[in-house]
Amino acid sequence: MNHRKTAALFGGLLMMLQMPALPCSAEAEPKLIALTFDDGPNTTTTNEVLDVLEQYNAKASFFLIGDNINDESAVSVKRAYDMGCEIDNHSKTHSNMAAMDADKVKAEIAYVDEWVEQITGEKTRFFRPPFIDVSDALYDAVGLPFICGIDCQDYMENVTAQQRADYIMNGAKDGVIVLLHDAAGNSQTVEALKIVMPQLVEQGYEFVTLTELFARQNETPREHILYSRVAKYPCSGYTLHKTVFSGNASGDQSAAVWQDAGVLDAAELEALGSSFAIEVKYSGANQPVLNLQRWSGTAIWHSVQPAYFNGDTACFLAEDILEALDTLGVGMTELDRLGIAPYSGSMEMTSVSILVKGGGAEALSGDVNADGARTVADAVMLAQYLAAERQTLPDAAAADLDGNSRLNAVDLTLLKRLLMQER
């Protein structure tokens, strides 16, 4: 770290120390949801979707097919952009692109970008591969973050508006991305939106663009990841209980290494109740999953998805594991094996740890952005919050350094002192 720059930064931060106290309330933070729409634009359904969004002052992200953009449909694109929506890339021709050569891929992306820049003055920021068809070559050629989302089956004519609404509501959780379609004539999705929008508002959701979702969740989009959810790191208040594996394990789902690396003790986890989490350090496009297996009696092979993953860290929460066991109708110790493995393709894993709730407040005090470390970025974020430039903080409790349940200039001063001591 450049100490001269650090000192200058804190000099600027100290000018903000006379600000009034602001309440520290993590509970008031809204849940975020990103509605996304594929296969437009057009002059009919796209506008009907925008009518519903406008009624709720909601923002969304639209993934355009280049061949659908013309002078008439461009008006709908401009309307969406002026409403605060984001305009993103779904290729020119909506072809299977995983096996396309790099030049053709780049031409598909550039065609949409040129139209969008002409309409909005900006290029696209995210890409959804047609048919969710991906490959390493496609990741490399596109150069944009890849987005998937929860499947609401709204591309199937026999799926009713209520069924589409149910898919949305059943999948709704903080940070989730919803995959929908505003293709011409897809009126059932418009009706589904009319059903779910008031319910989501009542449940405390805020509708955001993908760019805002990543920024508000304090995540930077990574390469070679297909995102369906952008969650906050959920284990900032946990401490290390035990390191289960440390080393290097790599391979695809069938590799023998997963029979030994990252195997967990069911009895130990059961004794921890609902207070634990499993943290996995890994690399690769494919996130890890926790496999619940039983081969005695009624065979079970069930994969629990991580509550959080970002390309190098994944976290499995006890509540998700226990919910899966309840659904399967088995107890933790009735399983023959609990082990980590890649979701698909290959993965390299360097550690598996059991974390437990509590006991880590002092160590993580000041980690305002909840990234697992206390840095200058935390002081900047707290300063922005006190200046009312941010409405929420990723971890308001960690910012309350004086422990009085209110955030003010004193907390910023204490954080500055901690960081100066650690230089």
Question: What residues are labeled active site?
Answer: 38, 181
Q: Which residue has the tokens 């770290």?
A: 1
Q: Where are the alpha helices (DSSP H) in 203-253?
A: 210-216
Task: Decide: 401 and 411 in contact? Cβ < 8 Å.
Answer: yes
DSSP bridge partners of 146: 127, 226
* C-alpha angle 307-313-318 in degrees, rounded to nearest 5: 35
Nearest Cα neighbor of 126 from 29, 278, 230 is 230
Residue 364 falls in which region: left (phi positive, over 0), alpha (psi -120 to 50) or beta: alpha
Amino acid at 197: M
Give the integer Cα–Cα distance in Å for 206 and 81: 18
Task: Decide: 387 and 354 in contact? Cβ < 8 Å.
Answer: no
Is the peptide bond prior to 41 cis by the omega test (within 30 degrees of 0)?
yes
3-state helix, strand, coil in the chain (%, to 5): 40, 25, 40
Q: Which residue has the tokens 């360097």?
A: 350
Cα dihedral: 63, 67, 68, 73 (round 10):
100
Nearest Cα neighbor of 64 from 35, 86, 31 is 86
b/e burial code for range 118-147 (CB count within 10 A of at least 16 → b): ebbeebbbbbbbbeeebeeebbebbebbbb
Regarding beta strands 61-64 and 31-40, do their DSSP bridges make them parallel or antiparallel, or are they unpaired?
parallel
Give the integer Cα–Cα distance in Å for 138 and 144: 10
Nearest Cα neighbor of 116 from 94, 142, 90, 153 is 90
Give the integer Cα–Cα distance in Å for 351 and 328: 28
CB atoms within 10 A of CB 357: 17
